[in-house]
Chain A
Amino acid sequence: DTAVSQTPKYLVTQMGNDKSIKCEQNLGHDTMYWYKQDSKKFLKIMFSYNNKELIINETVPNRFSPKSPDKAHLNLHINSLELGDSAVYFCASSHLNYEQYFGPGTRLTVT
């Protein structure tokens, strides 16, 4: 019954590797998001996406790329991982700008 799910919950990897985080929502929402929450708990939006438009936060390195195979999924691909990428990544979904439903988060640790 989970509305927004993410896998994996924990991800430990080495610098330079490429990894993906999957996100699925079963709410029928038209918009999905990726957020990054760093060690200081500052929550920053990375991307928002619907079937028409991808909007990218200009501060996000192009090593990060969202990929949406269908309306219910928005996966996050990260190339050439760096130490500074260590954070908790949250996926969320919403209908337009109404309330966003967040996933449980993926804790990424880059060593």
Chain B
Amino acid sequence: LAKTTQPISMDSYEGQEVNITCSHNNIATNDYITWYQQFPSQGPRFIIQGYKTKVTNEVASLFIPADRKSSTLSLPRVSLSDTAVYYCLVGESYGGSQGNLIFGKGTKLSVKP
């Protein structure tokens, strides 16, 4: 199983760039890497997904090195509203073992003014 490891918590200030790294040493060939954001009392919300190299969308970037054993979620210029828990998920496309759909324990990001 592709187990993931993330920092438990991170602190930042408004306007800074935040990088959260997830380790997944046992990632399989067919696994994708997906990040979710969760606010208190809400369900997780998709942020970004990638397979290798770099992916960028309107809210974040995802950096994946060649060996794919880790990935880094980059949030540019965070604001107070980015305070949330961020989960790294590693799992293969449907049809494979569902047991690979494993969320990390999440990183609690606190953004201060």
Binding site for B on A (CB under 8 A): 4, 31, 33, 41-45, 48, 50, 55-58, 90, 92, 96-105
Is there contact, CB below 8 Å, between A104 and B105? no
Please indicate the chain B residues that have their CB under 8 angstroms from the CB of A48 in the complex. Answer: 94, 98, 101
* Docked-complex contact B44 and A43, CB < 8 angstroms: yes
B49 touches A (CB below 8 Å): yes
Report yes or no: B99 in contact with A57, Cβ–Cβ below 8 A. yes
In the complex, chain B residues 20-77 whose Cβ is within 8 Å of any chain A Cβ: 32, 34, 36, 38, 41-46, 49
Distance of A43 Cα from B10 Cα, bound (Å) = 19
Known: A55-B97, A96-B94. 18 other contacts (CB 8 A): A33-B101, A41-B85, A43-B44, A43-B87, A45-B98, A48-B101, A50-B94, A55-B98, A57-B98, A58-B99, A92-B43, A92-B44, A97-B93, A100-B44, A102-B43, A102-B44, A105-B41, A105-B43
Q: How large is the interface on B (under 10, 10 to 19, 20 to 34, 35 or more residues)?
A: 20 to 34
Bound form: Cα–Cα A100–B37 in Å: 12
Q: Is the CB of A104 within 8 A of B101?
A: no
Q: Which residues of B contact A (CB under 8 A)?
A: 32, 34, 36, 38, 41-46, 49, 85, 87, 91-94, 97-99, 101-103, 105-106
Whether B43 pairs with A97 at a CB distance below 8 angstroms is no
Q: Are B94 and A45 in touch, CB under 8 angstroms?
A: no
In Å, the complex CA distance between A24 and B41 comes to 19
In the assembled complex, 25 residue pairs joining A and B whose CB atoms fall closer than 8 Å, in A order, are A4-B43, A33-B101, A41-B85, A41-B106, A42-B103, A43-B38, A43-B44, A44-B103, A45-B98, A45-B101, A45-B103, A48-B94, A55-B97, A56-B98, A57-B99, A90-B44, A92-B44, A99-B46, A99-B49, A100-B44, A100-B46, A101-B46, A102-B44, A103-B43, A105-B41
